Structure 1
Amino acid sequence: MKILMLDQSIGFDPKDREARPLGTCQRAFIALAESLVARGHKVEARRNGGIDKDMHGVAWRQLEAELPPFGGDAVNTVIVWRDPALLNHASVPEDANIVFWFDGDPARLNADDVRLVLQEKKVQVIFTDDAQANAFDAELAKKPVVVKPGATTSFVMASNMHWAFESRDELAVTVANSSTGIAQIIRIWETYVAPKAPNAILEVYAYDLFSAMAGENDSVSDDLLDMVRSAVDKGVRVHHPKPEADMAETVANARAFLHHGKYGTDYVGQWLVDALGAATPVVSYGGIAKSRVEDGKTGYIVPDEAAFG
């Protein structure tokens, strides 16, 4: 089967997964393309920037490439990634089977213009969480399905190097940032964790905090920066995010992955399933974690700060 994949988020190359930090959506796009090739399909993946290159069996091309997909050969299936505007992209053949992978607010798809396109093109919508499907009220030719994410290979492989939990460092990891609850996580660490485990380290992988600490980002409040600086002697460390394999190694060596869950809207929880794939328990207030974590088995959904700490 010839499968065309379309994404217009940011410019990236497949090797970037190993060379630089990528967002979870870009990592998932690459992983899906390579997985489809591994199952015997031919895949052309078009994205908004990067170089034209064949890698791991995937033909990586520009979203606005002038040449037709697969050199003009018939396309069997088109996978549109996240953005409903791409359903009408010029590269989408009229007779192709269209799959729309969507990780956002389902209310966006309830808009009349989007519903019309979904209906006319008989699009198969794929959600990443049951909450999306429950909030989606359009009647389509094909009933939407829910496909929850799995852990990426790097995190599963990293878990094999740290299977003995007692041998892991006294380390907790979080990717929470200034808009997703890092202030409360740091406060909990200072108040509850550090007094009980004075040698423990909390590593924060957040670009906004890292750049703000370096004086290169003025969008982070001074109060939060002061909080981070005052927590250094309690083991809090702010780092630049790392490429996928390096992050996998870090998470797999940690004793807990800290997730807030009360801020923002996340219908994927990719970091959560990656952490669980690395056999690292998740601690969270909830949100998407309620759909990804088995409370008391693979992690903990907690009610308050004392329980979090």
Structure 2
Amino acid sequence: MLITLIDDSIPYNGMTPTYQPLGGAEKAFASLPAALARCGHVVRAITRAPHAVSIENVSWLNFESRIPPITEVLIAFRKPSLLEMTRATGSRILWVPGSTGYLDQPEVKQLLERNQAKIVLQGTTHLESFNLESDLKYRAITPGVRDEYRECDPIQFSDTPTAICTTHPKQGMSWLLDLWCDKIHPKVEEAELHIFSASLHRMDESGEIVDDLLPIWEQVLKGKEKGVRIISPAGDNDMVKQFRYASVHLYPGSEKEMYCSTLAESQAVGVPAVARPLGAVKERIVDHQTGFLASDEDEFAKQAVMMLSEHDQRDTISKSARRYGSARGWDTVAREFETLF
């Protein structure tokens, strides 16, 4: 079938995640087209990338290119208005990576119904947040994990007990920094907490502090005496190398997260996780098998200390995380999308 995918958010294409940091939603969009091509479809993907290019048998176009006038299947990413950018003779699918609240607006509902759109959400948690009063068809298709993580070399824990954090600074990082300094680091004084954050790294490099991040930045400065390190996020080729040295992924979580992409990636590498059971976290971790769901500070700190200091326990959890986390790739996701055509 001829399949066209459209996202008008930022410049990227199917190669971008390998070499540059990219948000979980955009990384999902970058990953699906090649998987659909491997299923035998003719695939075109349109983004704001500066150049048109062919990658893994997918024609990546941009909005300066001539938009193809017709397709059999149209997959619009996030924005319902993209459903009408080209004529689709078959299915029109709206792929929603985040909040679904805007879909209930009258003009949006009319557009969706006019196009008989099918809606794709990201999992059980996302379905539970979905409350659209309509006869439109919808289903959950959980994103996959890219092969850089699923097929990486076995984990090689650093001699320095290392925790990683990939959380956005405004989604629980303040809570985690307090917990690290007060209850985790004092129990494992040689441990380090590596925070992957583009905004904090820019502040660290330039000295220019963003006002609304000032309280967190002050916590970071205090935490540097207790092993806190700020690292710039990178593309998947480099991030997997960082993950392979980590003893534990500390994940505060947020009720707004409908997938938790970096948690899925670190699990696929085999990094044990300790997380609060918020949002879609509980879909990414098998409690007490691939990590720990901790609803209070003391439990969170206890499990984090165990992963940083008790190697036998860490190794057991790591093996389970790798086995469970690496199971779902993008070819599986593509086959599930095919059921909508």
Q: TM-score, normalised by structure 2?
A: 0.81
Question: Which residue among 184, 188, 194 is the counterpart of 2:185?
Answer: 194
Alignment of 1:103-252 (within 5 A): 103-134=97-128, 135-141=130-136, 143-158=137-152, 160-162=153-155, 170-213=161-204, 214-252=206-244
Instruction: Tell me the distance in 1 between the aligned counterparts of 2:71 and 2:214.
Output: 53
The answer for the alignment partner of 1:26 in structure 2 is: 26
- Runs of 4 or more, structure 1, over 4 Å off, are 166-169
Residues 130 and 307 of structure 1: CA distance in aligned 2, closer, same or farther (over 3 Å): same
Structure 2 gaps, min length 5: 302-341
Alignment partner for residue 274 of structure 2, among 274, 283, 286? 283
Q: Distance in 2 between matches of 1:178 and 1:226?
A: 12
Gaps of 5+ in 1: none
Please report how far the alpha carbon of residue 138 of structure 1 lies from its aligned counterpart in structure 2 after TM superposition: 2.4
Contact map agreement 1:209 1:220 (CA 8 A) in 2: no
Local SS of the residue matching 1:180: helix
The answer to whether the 8 Å contact 2:74/2:91 transfers is yes
1:10-159 → structure 2 map (5 Å cutoff): 10-65=10-65, 67-69=66-68, 74-89=70-85, 92-134=86-128, 135-141=130-136, 143-158=137-152
1:253, distance to aligned residue in structure 2 (A):
2.2
Whether the 8 Å CA contact 1:48–1:63 is kept in 2: the answer is yes
Per-residue deviation, 1:149: 2.0
Counterpart for residue 3 of structure 2: 3
In structure 2, relative to structure 1, the CA distance for the partners of 1:174 and 1:98 (3 Å cut) is same
Match in the other structure for 2:332: none
More helix by share: 2
Cα deviation, residue 235, structure 1: 0.9
TM-score (norm 1): 0.89
Farther-moved stretch of structure 1 (146-155 vs 11-20): 11-20
Please say if residues 78 and 97 of structure 2, whose CA atoms lie closer than 8 Å, have aligned partners that are also in contact.
yes
Note closer, same or farther for the CA distance 1:216–1:182 as it changes in structure 2 (3 Å cut): same
Question: 1-side partners of 2:273 and 2:135: how far apart?
Answer: 37
Alpha-carbon separation, structure 2, partners of 1:140 and 1:64: 36
SS of alignment partner, residue 254 of structure 1: coil
RMSD: 2.0
Counterpart-to-counterpart distance in 2, 1:16 and 1:270: 16
Q: Distance in 2 between matches of 1:270 and 1:225?
A: 24
Counting aligned pairs with the same residue, the percent is 22
Once residues 293 and 59 of structure 1 are traced to their aligned partners in structure 2, the CA distance between those partners, rounded to angstroms, is 35
Q: Once the two structures are superposed, what CA deviation does each residue of 1:205-233 show, in whole Å capped at 9, x if it has no partner?
A: 11111112232442344332222112112
Residues 291 and 168 (structure 1), Cα distance of their counterparts in 2 relative to 1, 3 Å cut: farther
Q: Is the 8 A contact 1:208 1:220 kept in 2?
A: no
Distance 1:94 1:38 in 2: 21
Residues of 2 paired with 1:152 and 1:169: CA distance?
28
Q: Is the 8 A contact 2:2 2:42 kept in 1?
A: yes
Tell me the matched-pair count: 298
Residues 122 and 140 of structure 1 are in contact (CA less than 8 Å); yes or no, is this contact kept in structure 2? no
Q: Would the aligned equivalents of 2:2 and 2:41 in 1 still touch at CA under 8 Å?
A: yes
Q: Deviations over 1:83-115 (max 9, x none)?
A: 2221222xx215231111102222211111111
